[in-house]
Amino acid sequence: MKHLIAILALSAFTALNVRAEDQKFEGTMSCAKCALHTASECADVLKVGDVAYELEEKGSVKTSAHKCSGSTAASVTGKVEERAGKKFIVVTTITQK
C-alpha cells in the first residue's frame, strides 16, 4: 500500500511539472494603460487572439520591453499563471518582430 501511495504521489508531482513548462506565444505586445486602457499603470501585455496576458519578470510587472504608444508583433516564451481572474505569463524570453 505504501508503494502505491508513493507511485501516485510521484505521478501527481510529474504531472504538475509537465504543466509548468515554458510555452511559446505569438501575438501583439502593447501597453495595458496607454494602448489598451485596461490598467492604471503602464505594463506590457501580450494579446493572443482575444486573450490578453500580462507579462511578469522576476516577480514584478514587466515594462522593460514596453511600448506605450502603438503595438508590436512579439513572441513570448514563459509559464502561464492565472490569478484573480487575470492571465499572466512569467517571461523567460521576448522577441519583438
pLDDT, tens only, 20-46: 689 999 999 999 888 889 889 888 999
Question: What CATH code is carried by the domain that includes residue 90?
Answer: 2.40.50
Task: Give residue 65's pLDDT.
Answer: 61
Structural domain harbouring 70: 22-96
| 47 found inside a domain | yes
| 38 found inside a domain | yes
| 77 found inside a domain | yes
| 35 found inside a domain | yes
| 62 found inside a domain | yes
pTM confidence score:
0.73
| 11 found inside a domain | no
Q: Quick count: other Cβ atoms within 10 Å of Cβ 92? A: 13
| 27 found inside a domain | yes
Question: What is the average pLDDT score of the chain?
Answer: 80
Q: How many domains does the chain have?
A: 1
C-alpha cell at 88: 499572466
| 81 found inside a domain | yes
C-alpha cell at 9: 504521489
Rounded to 5 degrees, what angle do the CA atoms 51, 54, 41 make?
A: 125
